Structure formats: structure tokens, C-alpha cells
Structure 1
């Protein structure tokens, strides 16, 4: 085999490997997007935030909730958890953080949708995520809060200009802004999994 043929094969193999990695990353990113959208579109959670059942920092708790769910469901050991596991987690966080018992069956519906869209994303099918995006945009039509900023990884962290002004504006308004487009959020506080006597995993947010 000539040197040029060998180089061509190596380049092709490298391109294929990079393509596979990129595809896996794209699938995972779409699944993360669906997690955020499903939580922000969940009426029970929206009501808990607008009513501030979790206290004045209810909106921040919702962001923590989304980040925690992303980290847990995207962990390799949890990629095949079923909807019952997810539903139990959703109910636990709602009760622990927002002091509300969700008994309308909506947590189960969110969990089932998460499992379904997870399977779609892992197969490279993103129609479910796109449908969620359309729902979010329809909900916020005319409010200038589309999904453009959903996954701006790290961009906002490096841009500190105007952050102080933004904080001042938030303090002056004092209201929960429900129309803000959901962002890719990470866990702000450590998440400590605990296993109870029955073998169920509990998620505990460490208090500062």
C-alpha cells in the first residue's frame, strides 16, 4: 500500500471517528434541551414558581431543578432509567423544594415524555425536541423570548459586562420573570444521592 493511500485511509478513519463523536454529542445536547423545555413547560412547576411556593428564590430553584435533572439523566449509569424512577424524582423535588404534592398525574406524563424523547434523541430523531421548541415559542409568541439562547454553553459565564446592571434591575423589579427563555443550567449546589432502606435513590441538595 502506498504512503498516500495509507494517509487517505487514516484521514477517513479519523473523520469517521470525529463524526461519530459529534453525532453522540448532538444527540445528548438535544436530550438536554428536551429536559429543560419539559420542565419549563410543566404547568405544575410553573404554578409553583409563579406562586413562589418555594420561597422568593423559586425561579432559581427551578433552574437548579433543571440542571440537576440534566446531570442525573445524562449520567452513563442513568441513561436507561424508566419513567417510574424519573416520576419519583420529580415528585420528591417538588415536595422538598416547593412544598407541594403533585397528585394530578402530570409528573408521570412528564416522566413518560422524557423517556420517549430520550429514545428518539439516542436514535438521532429530534422531532420531539423540535415540537417542544414550537410549544415554547407559541407560549411566548410576541414576547421576544424564543429558544435562541437555550444552549449558550459557557458564553454568558465569560461575559461579565452588564451583569451588575442586570442584578440591579432584577432587584428593582422583584418579580419572578416567567417569560424568560429556559437556559442550559448546571447544578449550582452539590447534589448528593442517598439510598434509603428500601433501596430508592434520593437527591439531596446541600444547603449553604
Structure 2
């Protein structure tokens, strides 16, 4: 099997850029983070936080260098492993977006990043190409309903608006029936008094 000689590797700057793009794509494709940004669970600057998030993940890894292009292909004290990346992903989601991701999606994102890192060290871009294609093909794909903030007090969400009108109508009808049953019976209007001459007596309300 032929191996890529060091002199045949793309420049370190190009490999670094490819890795950074792969991290950005991986985070943009993460349903938990996408929904958090859409609902601004991280505040009005949630989109900027996602960009910062990508930079923070990239900074976990040492930059590629032309002097030792293959150094980052093997785990060492400087290279975070899968568990390290997953831990940071979960911690940032909790700290910055107040979201507790309790599924395995963070592991999947961490795996994508680790693969992109290992391939980048060899001058390969298979993972980057896969993530880019998924990102381009996801236009129009909704993530609402796939993930929800743990303590979400805002009930005016997109995934509830589709059939909320019908439910409101049902609630209004049903609520009215319940209210009528529980409400005290209205007082009856007093019958008018008619005197011997056939005139109706007028009484003033106190």
C-alpha cells in the first residue's frame, strides 16, 4: 500500500483550514446545537456563540506544522482524544446554552472531529467532503422536535405552532363546557309585577 510522502502533503496551513472547516460543519450539523441557536437558548448572540464554539474546539488541538506533518496522526499529550472532545462539547452546551444533551449525539460529533483531524494529518479530506455534502443537502431540513431544551419555559415554539390552533379551539369549546358546569347558576330575572289595571310595576335597582 502506497503512503503519502511528507513532501507530497498539502501545506500545513491548508490542512489546518480544512480541519477548521470540518469542525464548523460538524457543529452546524449537530441538531442539539442547531435548535439551541434557532431558539436563542444561548441569548441573542447564540449564532456568534456557535462560531466561538467551533474555534474553541479547534484550539483543543495543536496546529499542523510543515516541520512535522505526521506528528498529529498519533495521540499524544497535546492531542485530545474522543472522550476529551465529547466532554468539551457537552460542557459548552450546558454552560453557554443551558442545554443538557443526554443522547449520544455529542459522541457522534466528537467522532467526526477526530476523524477529520486524523485525515487532515495525512492530507486527506474524506470526512470534510462528507460533512460539507451533508451540510449542503440539509437545506430545508427542520430539526425542530428532534431535541428540546431541558428547562424550556418558552412554549411559543415552531414545532408546537402547526396544530396549536386546533388544540386551542378544542380547549376553548371544552373549557367553556367545564366552566359552565363549575360556575354557580346565574340568578333568575325577577318576573314583572302587574297591577289590577294591567300596568307593569317598575322597580329600581338598588
Class of the TM-score when normalised by the shorter of the 2 chains: 0.5 to 0.7
3-state SS of 1:140 partner: coil
Residue in 1 that maps onto 2:44: 56
For the pair shown, the structure with the greater C-alpha radius of gyration is 2
Larger helix fraction of residues: 1
The corresponding residue for 1:93 is 92
Deviation, 1:53, is: 1.0
Whole-Å separation in 2 of the counterparts to 1:20 and 1:127:
17
- Cα distance in 2, alignment partners of residues 33 and 78 from structure 1: 24
Deviation string 1:151-190 (CA, Å, 9 cap, x unpaired) is: xxxxxxxxxxxxxxxxxxxxxxxxxxxxxxxxxxxxxxxx
> How much has 1:117 moved relative to structure 2?
1.6
Query: Aligned partners of 1:96, 1:22: CA distance in 2, in Å?
Result: 37
Shift of 1:61: 1.1
Alpha-carbon spacing, 1:128–1:22, altered in 2? closer, same or farther (3 Å): closer
CA distance in 2, matches of 1:79, 1:22: 22
Does residue 1:67 correspond to 2:55, yes or no? yes
Structure 1 stretches lacking a partner, 5+ long: 1-16, 142-208
Separation in structure 2 between the aligned mates of residue 78 and residue 70 of structure 1, nearest angstrom: 16
Secondary structure at the aligned position of 2:11 is classed as: helix
Q: Which has the higher strand share?
A: 1
Residue 31 of structure 1 is matched in structure 2 by 19
Q: 1:127 Cα deviation (Å)?
A: 1.3
Number of corresponding residues:
125
Q: Partners in 1 of 2:37 and 2:77 — Cα distance?
A: 27
1:129 aligns to what?
128
CA contact (8 A) 1:72 1:78 kept: no
Distance 1:122 1:75, change over 3 A: closer
State the Cα deviation string for residues 8-65 of structure 1 (Å, max 9, x = none). Answer: xxxxxxxxx9x67852222211111101110111111001111111112111111111
1:96-134 CA-partner distances (Å, limit 9, x unpaired): 000010011111111112111211111111111011111
Structure 2 partner of 1:138:
137
Contact kept? 1:38, 1:132, Cα under 8 Å: yes
SS in 1 for 2:41: coil
In the alignment, the residues of structure 1 paired with residue 62 and residue 21 of structure 2 have an alpha-carbon distance, to the nearest angstrom, of 11
CA distance 1:138–1:103, change in 2 (3 Å): same
Check 1:118–1:98 CA distance in 2 against 1; reply closer, same or farther (3 A cut): same
- 8 Å contact from structure 2 (residues 112, 127) kept in 1: no
Q: TM-score, normalised by structure 2?
A: 0.55
